[in-house]
Amino acid sequence: MKARHKRGLLIAAGVVALAVAAGLVLSAFQKNLVFFFTPSQVVAREVPVGKPFRIGGMVAERSLQRQPDGLTVRFLVTDTVKSVPVVYTGILPDLFKEGQGVVAQGKVGEDGVFIATEVLAKHDENYMPPEAAHAVEQAQNAQKTLISN
Amino acid sequence: MVPEIGQLALILALLLAVVQGTLPMIGAQRGIIAWMALSRPLAAGQFLFVAIAFLCLALSFLASDFSVLNVASNSNSQLPAHYRVAATWGSHEGSMLLWVLMLSLWMQAVSIFSQSLPREMLARVLSVMGLVSVGFLLFLLLTSNPFERLSPPAAEGNDLNPLLQDPGMVAHPPMLYMGYVGFSVAFAFAIAALLGGRLDATWARWSRPWTTAAWCFLTLGILIGSWWAYNELGWGGWWFWDPVENASFMPWLVGTALVHSLAVTEKRGAFKGWTVLLAICAFSLSLLGTFLVRSGVLTSVHAFATDPERGLFILVFLAIVIGGALVLFAVRAPQVGGGGRFATISRESFLLVNNVLLIVAAGSVLLGTLYPLALDALSGGQTKISVGPPYFEAVFVPLMSPLVFLMGVGPVARWKQATLPELWTLLRWAFAVSLVCAVLVPLIAGGGSWGLRLGLFLAFWIFAATVVSARERIRNFRGALLERLAMQPRAWWGMILAHLGVAVFVVGVTVVGTYETERDVRMAIGDTVEMGGHTFRFDGTTAVTGPNYRAARGTVTVLRDGREMLTLHPEKRTYNASGMAMTEAAIATGLLGDLYVSLGEPIDARSWSVRVYHKPFVTWIWAGCVLMAFGGLLALTDRRYRLRSTQPQPGAALASPA
């Protein structure tokens, strides 16, 4: 009888431990999901306020400005229809270039300026971040629909 | 001519693999000795032909034969010779060929070292591996032919991705693949045992050294990858929870669980079904990792091309292998029967908890890696999300802490039945000492968080508890301390080393996480920045020319107490062929910490943006991994695996540890 009780207790403890672990994993998962938005969505204010998210698109030509401290940069991320000003302090990845795709993570302020905490590197000259390609495609599709309407 | 020979060799290897995957298997089911006997020569023939194919590709790269598409896209005549050889596996096609080469190498190793296996068993094991080989050879020949010709030939090659031009990159893929593919041996043993209905302690002892070997290679492969990222990506991080890294980490977690559950199966005959399931899972995750990385679902340095045909092929292959194995398991597992009984508090149950925690951890990585992909696919590309390091960190600390704590308890606990009072008596001093150290060290070093104290406690706890378990182990032996230690089998020493490796690793991760400092600064010539008790002085840059790149080479002098200690030369390179810019960090490695400097961009004629890091104890992270892998290798050389007999040795269970 005693051994059986013990075994039952062990199984119960195991189930509880697994449930706790699963709960922990799922809550951490929920809290740390980062959503992706296109510049058009940011301009239309469809984005969460005060919560980090990612934007992607192209760095607009001739939009890169370096602030006097030499480390803070300001550039426009565009999906060819709308564009969002982005400010980032730090060293940009090697393959960051005007006219190239980019993905940045950060928050958007009241003034509509996106404060990036991270600008993601590309690994290859020809590689376009899928999020950036997606943003451009979405924006252009939306525009086509507007025109045809 | 050379590429055509390679192509032909691959086709011949495929034919041999088809025969190997069928005849010996049928022979084993029907008891046809001649058919079973085919498996070993077939394995040797396959190895020979795949090796020829690989050699042909390597020769094409070495000779810069730009009439081969693969060479033209991934090499360049200016590329130094050693990187031309490494470029053989720098491309998608080449790396799949390396996969197949590794598979045939493992097959050949099984055929040489497992001759003492029963005839049916060996035939089935090699046959299962032959079937896996058929899948991959077909994949190569149908969707990713490495020998495809380019007509007309290119005048010059596109060059190897500059990120891959690093010594770490030469060694990382072969090591990682040896690990991935090595789990196919454990998988083949599991399938063979299910087919033959022979699933016992002897089976576990045959399968164990192969699993440990694969695990060692995988550990080293991941280690080199992490070291490469630290050196080459210029962000000073050692692990990014990138989906591609996760793809190699999942089989490692499950493989670690497998290594431990095999120990229980061998010693106690318990966990049989579970062990088989883990062997299937470990290899399935290796295949999944290959799928994730090679199909182009993930875009990163590893994903060479997005090609839906390839993705589909691997997905179907994955479904056949995993589905088939699981169906076989479901049909056969009930006949396997239970194993030895054990009490609630026993070494078995501690190892069971170890397994559960490792599997939950692997599951959480799987969720974080696949969920964004699944959501993207299900929403038709409308919902894109990413799961970053904060998620994995939030999950891993609470999951790994109890696991690491139990690493101290498990080796001390008895098999079958242990009691808590007894364990407490043995371990109370170890517990007290590690607790005191965990409080004292941050006081002395200054600062520190609860995370630091927890990490240090766990590391000291493993050290102390390992000493206790060693003392317990040699208690019943006679002689001087060193003599008694020397008497212990290598498998036991392997376990001790691997566990100490975890302690060293935990120290590294915790200390670097707490005390590392990082600054991005603008530096003009002569400017200094203070960090970690060092002064960094920027002395300007000079232009240099490498074999296939031009670079701005910075000079940063490190001073301590006003005296010049060393000079670092970070570079900003531009590669000729691709025009791609690359940051080459300069790192001064030390036992107690690294100094890490990388160049950002030139701001004006005299100044650059510079990134400076101080990374205390970061080397311990890799040292810990090396210890783990070395522990595994030591365990491999244990005497009992070399015994020819298939019968368990009397007393073997007493003399060998988990």
Dihedral pair phi/psi, residue B306, rounded to 5°: -95, 115
The C-alpha atoms of residue B612 and residue B538 are separated, in whole angstroms, by: 11
Angle, CA of B49, B221 and B107, to the nearest 5°: 30
Q: From the CB of residue B491, how many other CB atoms can be counted at a distance below 10 Å?
A: 25
> What's the average model confidence in pLDDT over B120-139?
94
CA-to-CA distance for B232 and A93, rounded, in angstroms? Answer: 12
**What is the DSSP code string of A2-44?**
HHHHHHHHHHHHHHHHHHHHHHHHHHHHHHTEEEEE-HHHHHT
Please state which of the ranges B175-184, B236-245, B428-437 shows the lowest mean pLDDT.
B236-245
Q: Given A17, A25, A121, which is nearest B364 (Cβ)?
A: A25
Measure A133 CA to nearest chain B CA, in Å. 11
Instruction: For residue B119, give every residue at least 6 positions away whose Cβ sits within 8 Å of its Cβ, in sequence order, or none.
Output: B28, B33, B36, B37
Q: Is the pLDDT of residue B649 over 50?
A: no
Rounded to an integer, the average pLDDT of A94-110 is 84
Q: CB–CB of A34 and B385 under 8 A?
A: yes
The rounded distance, in Å, linking the Cα atoms of B304 and B240 is: 20
pLDDT class of A121 with cuts at 50, 70, 90: low
Residue appearing with tokens 């709308």: A82
What number of residues does chain B have?
A: 658
Q: From residue B182, give the alpha-carbon distance in Å to each of B102, B129, B199, B226, B514.
A: 8, 11, 20, 20, 36
Please give the distance of CA B180 from its chain centroid, rounded to a whole number: 8
Mean pLDDT for all residues in chain A: 80
pLDDT (mean) for A22-46 = 86
pLDDT exceeds 90 at position B116: no
pLDDT at residue B295 in the model: 64
Cα B91–B389–B172 angle (5° rounding)?
30
Handedness of CA B477, B479, B484, B489 (dihedral sign): negative
If you measure CA to CA, which chain B residue comes closest to A22?
A: B360
Statement: residue B148 has pLDDT above 60 = yes
> How far apart are alpha carbons B434 and B429 in whole angstroms?
8
Q: Where on the phi/psi map is residue A106: left (φ > 0), alpha (ψ -120 to 50), or beta?
A: left
Nearest CA in chain A to B396: A25
Work out the minimum CA distance from B549 to partner chain A, whole angstroms: 15
- Model confidence at B525, pLDDT cuts 50, 70, 90, reads very high
With CB atoms and an 8 Å threshold, state whether A71 touches B609. yes
* Of residues B107, B172, B173, the one with CA closest to residue B137: B107
CA distance B586 to B232: 10
Flag if B520 and A91 touch (Cβ within 8 Å): yes
Q: B486 or B10: which carries more pLDDT confidence?
A: B10
Contacts of B243 (CB under 8 A, 6+ apart): B292, B298, B300, B369
Q: What is the mean pLDDT of residues B275-286?
A: 94
Q: What number is the ipTM of this complex?
A: 0.81
Give the type of residue at B128. V
Per the model's pLDDT, the better-predicted residue between B38 and A96 turns out to be B38
Query: B444 falls in which pLDDT band (50, 70, 90)?
Result: confident
Cα–Cα dist B454/B397, whole Å: 10
Residue type, A82: K
Residue type, A50: G
The pLDDT, as a whole number, for residue B612 is 92
Residue bearing the bigger pLDDT, A124 or B58: B58
Tell me which chain A residues have a C-beta less than 8 angstroms from the C-beta of B388.
32, 34, 105
What's the confidence (pLDDT) of residue B21?
94
Using DSSP, state whether B166 is helix, strand or coil.
Answer: coil
**Beta carbons of A32 and B583 less than 8 Å apart:** no
Chain B contact set for A24 (CB, 8 A): 394-395, 398-399
Residues B481-504 have pLDDT tens digits of: 888 888 888 999 999 999 999 999
Q: Quick one: closest CA in A to B395, which residue?
A: A25
Q: Do A70 and B583 touch (CB under 8 A)?
A: no
Q: What percent of chain A has pLDDT over 70?
A: 83
CA A16 → CA A9, A25, A28, B376, B420, distances in Å?
10, 14, 18, 33, 21
CB contact under 8 A, A123 and B580: no
Which one has a higher pLDDT value, A121 or A84?
A84
pLDDT band for B652, please (50, 70, 90 cuts): very low
Residues of chain A contacting B395 with CB distance shorter than 8 Å: 24-25, 28-29
Measure A72 CA to nearest chain B CA, in Å.
Answer: 10
Report strand pairing: B586-588 vs B593-602.
Answer: antiparallel
Instruction: Report the distance separating Cα B294 and Cα B390, nearest Å.
Output: 26
Can you list the alpha helix ranges (DSSP code H) found in B163-296?
Answer: 167-196, 201-232, 243-268, 272-294
- A130 pLDDT band, cuts 50/70/90, is low
> pLDDT band at residue A123, thresholds of 50, 70 and 90?
low
Cα–Cα distance between B419 and B421 in angstroms, integer? 6
Closest residue, chain A, to B302 (C-alpha): A123
- pLDDT of amino acid A33: 84
The answer to whether the peptide bond before residue A48 is cis (omega within 30 degrees of 0) is no
> What is the rounded CA–CA span in Å between residue B189 and residue B265?
14
In chain B, residues with a C-beta closer than 8 Å to the C-beta of A141 are none
pTM of the model: 0.90
Compute the nearest-CA separation of B392 from chain A (Å): 8
CA distance A79 to A142: 11
CB-based contact B367 A25, cutoff 8 Å: yes
Nearest to A71 among B163, B520, B578 (CB): B520
Number of Cβ within 10 Å of residue B4's Cβ equals: 11
> C-alpha distances in angstroms, B160 versus B148, B172, B229, B300, B400?
18, 16, 17, 15, 38
Our CA-based measurement puts residue B344 at a distance from the nearest CA of chain A, in whole angstroms, of 7
Average pLDDT, chain B: 88
β-pair partners for B524: B607
pLDDT in tens, B285-339: 999 888 777 766 665 444 444 566 777 788 888 899 999 999 999 988 877 766 6
Lowest mean pLDDT among A94-103, B56-65, B251-260, B560-569: A94-103
CB contacts of B600 in chain A (<8 Å) are 91-92
Select the more confidently predicted residue: B387 or B14.
B14
